[in-house]
Structure 1
Amino acid sequence: MTQSQRDDAPLAPSLPRTLRSARIAVTAAYAAQGLGYAVIVTSLPALKARQEVGDDVVTILVLGVALTAALGSVIANAVAVRWGSRTALALGLIVQAIALPVIALPTEFPVFAGAFAVFGIGLGCVDAAAAMQGVAVQRAYGRHLLGGFFAAATAAAIAGALLVSGVALSAVGAGVALTCAAVIALAAALAGVRFFAREVPIDEVLPKAERAKLPRAGIWAFGLVILAVFVADSAVSTWSTVYLQDDLAALAWIAPLGYAVYQAVVLLTRLATDRLVPRLGRGRLVAIAASVSAVGCVIIALLPFPVAAIIGFALAGVSAGVLIPVTFGAAGELAPEHSDQVIARVNLFNYAGAILGAVVVGLLAEGPGLGIAFLLPAVALAAILFAVPRFRAMPTRAVAGVAPATSDDPSSR
């Protein structure tokens, strides 16, 4: 049997085209998600000027998006249990496609703020449902694919930032970019209705008494890993440019490079993750990624020089690049019959981490300083090492159905 035959065998061997179509459709959903969020955050200066509001209001809006995204993840779980994750993913994309044009239009502030809240619901719904679909397709293929899916989101986020740059930082230009993102989200949803992976909803598979029997210890372990990663990700995303420009007096063109190299490393490591998991094993790869990124945050905190900080930001990108797809993949295999429910719950930790990274690091900046504040994500990332045994207990090869536990040490295979 050839490699391609093995890849397609787990899900309907007579319909390999259906499996490939599902993979393409899920990749498009990840790309639409990355593009939409990037367009939103990079358009904030222009939108702030149009609405004539200050940074404090923008901060509240961003916090509101994180909170409503958590609600969106809960909605994704409810929809997936009843109608399947493909329905939840299409719904989240459609909600975003509705909210983005409203944000783009010159409306009264209450309508503008409401559209942001609705966008957050769509964002959280897609976050959770895309991971559900990604795990389903990965399981069907019998090999790791989540790194590639998340890489598509990162690449699209870079494209979204360039799109906003290309149409200029103005309210009209931002509206054009937001409308483009809405059209792409809607197209991904409509294509997904036909091509997303088809699963039998949990309501149809398990009796009601069985639906609540979730692997709660595993959910908390993997959820706290996701929380730690997003503490670091949010800290770098929110404060890297500010730290380089205001605290380290870097030149204006150098200051954005911290975030640029961070995103570049995230993209490169996500592209490599699917190949690294079977070679190194989940546990070893998680330990390496967490350690490298923790060291990067320590460098940022203790070496107050622009070059050192940029190197630190680059190293910090390894955690988001590797740990997010690996952790969601492992979470989806905790209890395959409850995969959607588990992923929705693990995804909730995403937003808690994002808020902690942005808010707590900012508060620490007012005291000991912004550089030292990066010891917070360093400690959070180092704490991931306590969860490594959980990853070692998981199989390193994604398989169809329930996979038997295997050793995480490649030398034992």
Structure 2
Amino acid sequence: MTAPLVPGAQLRHGRVSLALSFFVQGAVFALLVTRIPAIQQRYGISDGLLPAFLAAVPVLAGVGSLVTEHLVKRVRPSRVLRGVQPVVCLALLAVGSAGGLAQVAVALAVFGLLVGALDASMNMLGVSLQRAYGRSIMLGFHAAYSLGGIVGASLAWVGAHWQLSLEVLYGPVVAVLVPLALVVGRWFVDRDPGGAQGGPAVTGEAKTPPVVMKLLLPLCLVMAFAYIGDSTVSNWSAKYLQDVLGSSEQLATVPYNVYMVTTLLGRSVGDLGVRRFGAVAVVRTGTVVAAVGFAVVAVAPGAWAGMAGFTLLGLGLCVIVPQTFAAAGRQAGEKLGPEASDMAIARLNIFSYVGFLVGSPLVGALGDAWSYRGAMLVPMALVLVTLVYARSFGSSSARYGDGHERPRTADVGRGSNGL
């Protein structure tokens, strides 16, 4: 099968293939993080050593993202993504089938390092495709990631329910996802560094202006604070519902599932909101909804009220991260040139791991020293900082929506298939 020759068709194929890539990554990551207890038990990782293992993954992911920032000066993001995603899937299988503690440590290290490159390159392609479409489509890619996370968590639940070994759980999944990643990789479409269909394949490092950190700092803070909020839900929702709000153990597993579903729903319709009202209005609304969600959780009199708060959190937080990537790519492209967009996204991506690393221990320390109800107010306050920087999400040329949508332009060149 050959790739389409019509530019419009090429963009559509690129959009679908990238959405599938986001889906694959969501499923793989969920399969890893939801089976941490089984991984710990299989390899005899002590409770004292487990935090070091868990922290190493986002730290190495940050390194991988930083390396990708420099790599894309010479290699297309589509080629980076096409190369690393199958290896990330295989690294998941290695985590489940390693022979001992040293081997699983190496597998987790490879997983973390390449996940950073994968996350950065996926979002680079998403931003460049959004620029080509001339309208908001970034939230749709992250909706695909959320859907993959739901599927991966569901498969992990099946594995736990039927007491499947990690090899039996991961093996068939990886056998499906690796060929899928290889196939969709042929259809990736990214910005042509030469600015035209026949331009050069790579950009020389000397031609690429450095990314000014001062330009990105507000968005980096927003990204870190959003992930502090997200990690609070993923790491503390079950414990909070059971220990603070007195729910049953079974009911305590529900909030994160609800959070994932509402994240999917919010991202599925979020692009329509951006097109209609603009990115600034959507980010402000999401920030307020997320803050209200944290407030409801903090004062909830019982489990069901707490679940309502976590539902609001999913609806609010879900729009912030995709729009932060889009804003960073747009600002760097407008002020420093199109080549700087990819590097800005890689730099910004590092702060997602910073937020993930800080969030869980921050809430835990505050909960132990003060109270878990009070601890929920801290990520609420941090998320509200987004309102201060809301104007960073818009510009005069980025007004998506009815009556002011930009004309669609095909400002991407050849895909990774060579067209």
Q: Counterpart of 2:54 in structure 1: which amino acid?
A: V
- Could you tell me how far apart the structure 2 residues matched to 1:218 and 1:15 are? 33
Aligned to 2:224: 227
Match of 1:25 in 2: 17
Structure 1 position 204, deviation (Å): 6.3
1:390 is aligned to 2:392 = yes
In structure 1, give the amino acid aligned to 2:156. Answer: V
d(CA) in 1 for partners of 2:231, 2:284 = 21
Cα pair distance change 1:116/1:96, threshold 3 Å: same
Aligned residues: 391
Counterpart in the other structure of 2:316:
319
- Equivalent of residue 175 in structure 2, options 183, 187, 190: 183
Map of 1:374 onto structure 2? 376
Q: Which residue of 2 aligns with 1:58?
A: 50
| Cα distance, 1:54–1:169 mapped onto 2, change above 3 Å | farther
Q: In structure 1, the residue corresponding to 2:252 is in which secondary structure?
A: coil
Query: Partner of 1:3 in structure 2?
Result: none
- 1:282 correspondence with 2:279: yes
Is 1:259 paired with 2:256? yes
Cα distance change, pair 189–199 in 1 and its aligned pair in 2 (3 A): farther
CA distance in 1, matches of 2:38, 2:289: 36
**2:188 is matched with which residue?**
196
1:293 maps to 2:290: yes
Q: Distance in 2 between matches of 1:87 and 1:171?
A: 38
Unaligned runs of 5+ in 2: 195-199, 401-405, 412-419
Letter in 2 for 1:56: G
How far off its partner does 1:23 sit? 1.1
Corresponding residue number in structure 2 for 1:408: none
Amino acid paired to 1:214 = V
What is the distance in 2 between the residues matched to 1:199 and 1:376?
40
Distance 2:173 2:224 in 1: 27
Q: Deviations over 1:59-109 (max 9, x none)?
A: 222111110110111222222221110011123213313311211114110
> Structure 1 residues 385 and 107, CA, compared in 2 at 3 Å: closer, same or farther?
same
Q: Contact (CA 8 Å) 1:25, 1:188: kept in 2 or not?
A: no
Contact in 2 for aligned 1:93/1:185 (Cα 8 Å): no
Q: Distance in 1 between matches of 2:169 and 2:8?
A: 36
Question: Which AA in structure 2 matches 1:15?
Answer: P
The letter of the residue matching 1:310 is M
Residues 378, 285 of structure 1: alpha-carbon distance in 2 compared, 3 angstrom cutoff? same
In the other structure, the counterpart of 1:148 is 140
In structure 1, the partner of 2:197 is none
Aligned to 2:34: 42
Q: How does 1:8-19 map to 2 (within 5 A)?
A: 14-19=6-11
What does 1:113-192 align with in structure 2 at a 5 Å threshold? Answer: 113-168=105-160, 172-192=164-184
Contact 1:99 1:116 in 2 (8 A): yes
Deviations 1:238-262 (A, max 9, x none): 0000111122220122111221221
Distance 1:72 1:183 in 2: 25
TM-score by length of 2: 0.87
| Contact 2:263 2:315 (8 Å CA) reproduced | yes
Q: Which residue identity does 2:153 align to in structure 1?
A: A
CA-CA distance at 1:288 after TM superposition: 1.0
Where does 1:77-116 land on structure 2 (aligned, <5 Å)?
Answer: 77-116=69-108
Q: CA deviation at 1:209?
A: 4.6
Residues 74, 203 of structure 2: 8 Å contact kept? no
Between the aligned partners of 2:12 and 2:77, the Cα distance in structure 1 is 18
Are the counterparts in 2 of residues 40 and 178 from structure 1 also a CA contact under 8 Å? no
Give % identity.
30
Residue type of the partner of 2:118? V
The answer to whether 1:71 aligns with 2:56 is no
Picking from 306, 309, 331, the partner of 2:306 is 309
Cα root mean square deviation, aligned: 2.2
Distance 1:312 1:141 in 2: 35
**Structure 2 residue identity aligned to 1:176:** V
Q: Which has the higher contact order (CA 8 A, sep 6+)?
A: 2
For 2:242, the aligned partner's letter is Q
Q: d(CA) in 2 for partners of 1:49 and 1:216?
A: 42
Deviation of 1:310 after TM superposition, in Å, equals 1.1
Over 3 Å counting, the alpha-carbon distance change for 1:210 and 1:362 in structure 2 is same
1:204 to 1:22, Cα distance in 2 relative to 1, 3 A: closer
Question: Do 2:28 and 2:89's aligned partners in 1 also have CA atoms closer than 8 Å?
Answer: no
Flag the structure with higher helix content.
1
Question: Any residues of structure 2 matched to 1:350-361 within 5 Å, and which?
Answer: 350-361=352-363
Measured in 2, the distance between the counterparts of 1:106 and 1:221 equals: 41
CA drift of 1:181 comes to 4.2
Moved more, 185-194 or 90-99: 185-194
